[in-house]
Structure 1
Amino acid sequence: MSRGNQRDVDRARNLKKSQASKKKQAGDPTKRLEAQAEIMRAKQRAADERKAAEANGGSKGKK
């Protein structure tokens, strides 16, 4: 038995779906990377401060 044009229709549908999911990120890549790096630096500072507080005063915060 043949599937008719179902295979072609499915391929077209999957192609359309995959193109919709591959949206390009907006903005300048260098600015975006710098912003992400700043976020990571802030997270690292917070983690370092938390570790220092635990080392000095015990474990009062979250684990």
Structure 2
Amino acid sequence: MTRGNQRDKAREKQRKKADAEKSGNSLTGSEFQRKKEDDAAKMREKQAKADAKKTAEGVAGGGKKK
């Protein structure tokens, strides 16, 4: 019955490997913080562009919509 045992061991090994690949992020604390700050800066820039576009459309539109 050695073959069955090998199969079980191989399945267990593959399951552990898959779980390890799925688990959490691989960034260190400082890398994670830097990424978080970079993402926040990009979002602020994107929001500023959207606000500028809205303002430009409002000025160009000339009137209020009902």
What TM-score comes out, normalization by structure 2 length? 0.57
Structure 2 match to 1:34: 37
> Could you tell me how far apart the structure 1 residues matched to 2:57 and 2:8 are?
61
> Could you tell me how far apart the structure 1 residues matched to 2:16 and 2:9 are?
11
Structure 1 match to 2:56: 53
Deviations 1:1-48 (A, max 9, x none): xxx344443232122022123351256133222211111110110111
Higher share in helix: 2
- Matched residue count: 56
Larger RCO of the pair (alpha carbons < 8 Å, separation 6+): 1
Structure of greater Rg: 2
**Identity, % of aligned pairs?**
29
Q: Which moved more, 1:35-44 or 1:8-17?
A: 8-17
> Could you tell me how far apart the structure 2 residues matched to 1:57 and 1:26 are?
48
What TM-score comes out, normalization by structure 1 length? 0.59
AA aligned opposite 1:20: E
